[in-house]
């Protein structure tokens, strides 16, 4: 990690953050930003400058890494890695490498994903430390930025451990500590994530109005805690945290499938603000096919075929394009704005309430409360135009139905499918039937080879690589 975030000094890090802001929109803050290098001491003497520093972190999240819907983000390659997308580009493109399962520890995309995420964590830690040490900021801003920082730090580490397994949990900008930091287990990462989120909750606003959920809230923190409980199979906690959000009347499943990914969707819990006032989420630009055959990715035909008959998500969330030979190609159409519009219509939805119904459904089923689990699944099914599941006490049948609902509801959204396949212990069975080159160790990505050379405490490499 020495060649990434861990060699930065604070002033350089904040200079980079301010460059990000100055080259993007000013919608997170009303203050104009200076163009020269600014040290932490200056930034955290002023509320608006401190908020601008955090705005730089959000800009980075939207542009690249695990939470980016752009072509440089992880969303596209992770969907190509499993059974959602097919790659059509040149063999050396990121999507093709992951689609073909030809990735190795020296693959650039793996190194970039690691370094980008730890850079984002470093900059988040710089904000946390800055507000904690400041004697000039208002208490309101100190609390808000610290809470947001802790939330982001937890969420980014959660994605790292779900993708790479054992990873370092970085909580400071101390170079001497970070250059030789070691890995901790996934269960230990979960524990630290929960500590950060629980510390963040009292500092965050309870909720924000629909259309303005561009900052983390208590409800967003509860959602991530529910997701961790789902991964840990801690069913009581999964129910508790899901209830916290589902029980708030401001968070409702959108009855119209075409409104789910609009910026004012009532089901959105946290979304990222686009680049400018006329821009929309990157996903439309990345996934929508304007010509055929595709030049990058499209949905796999078998993925499209596996939708249940009558599922309206197939028509609302999947588009199609026909080439000169009348061959049809399908693409994700959750986001319908290709580029700009008179005003932004779609924000990149990171967390949404439908996931919580599916998490809570599994928790109820695993606890033997089948009627409650079926009721939650049916809320998702009936919104999709499907007949409700009949009452049943066959846990295996119900879990199979739940897996299908998660697949149809959450496809191409930030790696859910890969993490679900591992959660249900289905990765090898499913992927071997889809890709003959699949190997059991592919359930995790390799740690970047360059990082292992620079910091031996990151060894051993993940099995199989």
Whether residues 166 and 287 fall in one domain: no
pLDDT of residue 175: 86
Task: Please say which residue of 291, 313, 348 terminates a domain.
Answer: 348
Whether residues 113 and 10 fall in one domain: yes
Whether residues 68 and 197 fall in one domain: yes
In whole angstroms, give the CA distance from residue 232 to residue 151.
Answer: 19
Strand intervals (E) in 171-264: none
Q: Domain for residue 124, yes or no?
A: yes
Whether residues 158 and 36 fall in one domain: yes
Cβ-Cβ contacts under 8 Å for 73 (sequence gap 6 or more): 63, 64, 65, 66, 67, 282
Q: Is 390 exposed, middle or buried (0-12, 13-18, 19+ CB in 10 A)?
A: exposed
Q: Domain for residue 415, yes or no?
A: no
253-285 pLDDT tens trace: 999 999 999 999 999 999 999 989 999 999 999
pLDDT of residue 176: 87
User: Could you tell me whether strands 318-322 and 268-272 are parallel, antiparallel, or unpaired per DSSP bridges?
Assistant: unpaired
Q: Are the C-beta atoms of residues 82 and 422 closer than 8 Å to each other?
A: no
In the predicted model, is pLDDT for residue 120 greater than 60? Answer: yes
Q: Are the C-beta atoms of residues 151 and 221 closer than 8 Å to each other?
A: yes
Q: Are the C-beta atoms of residues 457 and 183 closer than 8 Å to each other?
A: yes
User: Could you tell me whether strands 85-87 and 328-332 are parallel, antiparallel, or unpaired per DSSP bridges?
Assistant: unpaired
What mean pLDDT do residues 214-232 have?
A: 98
Residue 250 sits at the vertex; the CA angle it makes with 246 and 252, to the nearest 5 degrees, is 55
Q: How many domains is the chain partitioned into structurally?
A: 2
pLDDT of residue 14: 47
Q: pTM for the full model? A: 0.93
Band of the pLDDT at 39, cuts 50, 70, 90?
Answer: low
Whether residues 194 and 317 fall in one domain: no
What mean pLDDT do residues 340-345 have?
A: 95
CATH value at residue 32: 1.25.40.890
Give the domain extent around 187: 1-204
Q: Which two tokens stand for residue 57?
A: 């972190």
Whether residues 185 and 299 fall in one domain: no
Q: Domain for residue 46, yes or no?
A: yes
In the predicted model, is pLDDT for residue 339 greater than 50? Answer: yes
């Amino acid at each position: 990690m020495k060649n990434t975030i861990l060699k930065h000094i604070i002033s350089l890090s904040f200079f980079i953050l301010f460059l990000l802001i100055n080259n993007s929109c000013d919608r997170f803050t009303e203050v104009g930003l200076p163009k020269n290098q600014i040290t932490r001491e200056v930034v955290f003497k002023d509320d608006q400058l401190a908020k601008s520093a955090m705005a730089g972190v959000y800009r980075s999240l939207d542009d690249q890494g695990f939470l980016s819907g752009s072509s440089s983000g992880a969303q596209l390659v992770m969907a190509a890695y499993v059974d959602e997308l097919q790659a059509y580009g040149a063999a050396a493109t990121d999507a093709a490498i992951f689609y073909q399962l030809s990735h190795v520890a020296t693959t650039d995309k793996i190194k970039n994903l690691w370094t980008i995420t730890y850079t984002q964590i470093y900059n988040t830690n710089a904000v946390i430390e800055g507000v904690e040490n400041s004697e000039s900021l208002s208490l309101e801003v100190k609390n808000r930025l610290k809470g947001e920082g802790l939330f982001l730090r937890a969420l980014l580490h959660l994605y790292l451990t779900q993708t790479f397994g054992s990873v370092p949990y970085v909580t400071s900008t101390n170079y001497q500590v970070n250059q030789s930091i070691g890995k901790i287990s996934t269960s230990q990462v979960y524990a630290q994530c929960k500590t950060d989120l629980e510390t963040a909750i009292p500092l965050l606003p309870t909720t924000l109005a629909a259309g303005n959920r561009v900052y983390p809230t208590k409800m967003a923190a509860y959602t991530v805690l529910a997701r961790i409980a789902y991964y840990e199979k801690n069913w009581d906690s999964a129910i508790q945290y899901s209830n916290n959000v589902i029980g708030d009347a401001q968070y409702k499943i959108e009855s119209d499938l075409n409104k789910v990914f609009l910026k004012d969707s009532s089901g959105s819990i946290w979304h990222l603000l686009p680049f400018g006032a006329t821009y929309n989420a990157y996903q439309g630009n990345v996934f929508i096919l304007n010509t055929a055959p595709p030049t990058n990715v499209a949905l796999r035909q078998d993925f499209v075929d596996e939708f249940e008959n009558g599922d309206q998500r197939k028509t609302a969330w999947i588009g199609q394009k026909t080439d000169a030979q009348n061959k049809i190609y399908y693409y994700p159409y959750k986001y319908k704005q290709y580029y700009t519009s008179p005003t932004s219509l779609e924000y990149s939805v990171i967390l949404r309430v439908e996931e919580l119904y599916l998490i809570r459904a599994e928790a109820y089923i695993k606890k033997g409360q089948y009627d409650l689990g079926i009721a939650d699944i049916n809320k998702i099914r009936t919104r999709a135009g499907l007949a409700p599941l009949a009452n049943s006490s066959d846990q295996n049948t119900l879990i199979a139905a739940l897996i299908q609902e998660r697949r149809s509801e959450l496809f191409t959204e930030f790696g859910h499918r890969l993490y679900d396949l591992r959660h249900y212990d289905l990765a090898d069975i499913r992927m071997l039937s889809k890709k003959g080159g699949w190997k059991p160790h592919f359930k995790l990505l390799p740690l970047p080879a360059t990082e292992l050379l620079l910091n031996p405490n990151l060894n051993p490499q993940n099995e199989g690589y």
